[in-house]
Amino acid sequence: MARPLKDDKSIKNWPEDDRPREKLFKNGEKTLSDAELLAIILRTGVKGNSALDLARAVIKKFGSFRELSQASTREWENFKGLGLAKIAQTRAAIEIGRRFLEGRTPSKKVKIENAKDVASLLSPRTRDLKKEIFRVLYLDAKNRLINIVDLGDGTVNEVNPIVREIFHKALESFATSFICAHNHPSGSCAPSIDDRNLTRDIQKISKTIKINFLDHVIIGDNAYFSFSEEGLLEN
């Protein structure tokens, strides 16, 4: 079908088969491009540019929704027609997507078998963060998830969890065991000297309190490092 005249950019005047919303209902959302999906969220464009034109410009600049999620508000505001309302709508939609992936896991009946389970659980939310977040997964006697607690955040290069708080929360949760995890914003999951020292200190206290410290998992970009799997936890 022919496109509308260049002087009429409104999507509502396009042939139905070319409109992102109508295409979604007719063929399914999986058939839409990133720009078409974003155009539906933006809803309207600006004079001379449709919502799809605006969406294409945004996707072209950032490359992907993953990169888009890390953009600062200032970077968004460089686009004419992207006001705070549209920025909020888009960021909310991306966060919904993240929580959908993460939302399949918080069930207390989820069983953690290994470091891969930990990485699958936490990666959707932590791999794109620009600062380190230290999290602890508390488990029952059958290695079922009781709770996930954020215990510290730091700069890009370091995280300073309160070790005492790790064990306080363990006792509070009636946990039999726990797994520590944090992300490396650099994308590399190789442990630093501080990571190794922290792991050693946690394990030393866990033996005294008799709460099992099962692993310390570092999450990078589509990869993870497990102290347990690498044989770096003392028996």
Q: 20-63: per-residue pLDDT in tens?
A: 888 888 888 888 888 888 888 888 887 878 888 888 888 888 88
139 within 8 A of 178, measured Cβ to Cβ: yes
Q: In what order do the strands lie in the sheet with 177-183?
A: 145-153, 133-139, 177-183, 212-219, 224-226
pLDDT exceeds 50 at position 7: no
Tokens matching residue 73? 């508000």
97 pLDDT exceeds 70? yes
Q: What would the DSSP string read from start to end of 32-46?
A: S-HHHHHHHHH---B
Cα angle 227, 118, 228 (rounded to 5 degrees) comes to 20
For the record, the structure tokens of 231 come out as 């044989």
3-state secondary structure of 49: strand
Q: Which of 73, 131, 121 is nearest to 101 (CA)?
A: 121
Q: Which residue has the tokens 């896991």?
A: 105
pTM of the model: 0.64
Reported confidence tier of residue 5, pLDDT bands at 50, 70, 90: very low
Helix/strand number for the chain, H first, E second: 9, 5
The mean pLDDT of the chain is 84
List pLDDT tens digits, range 154-165: 765 666 778 999
Give the largest CA-CA distance in the chain.
76
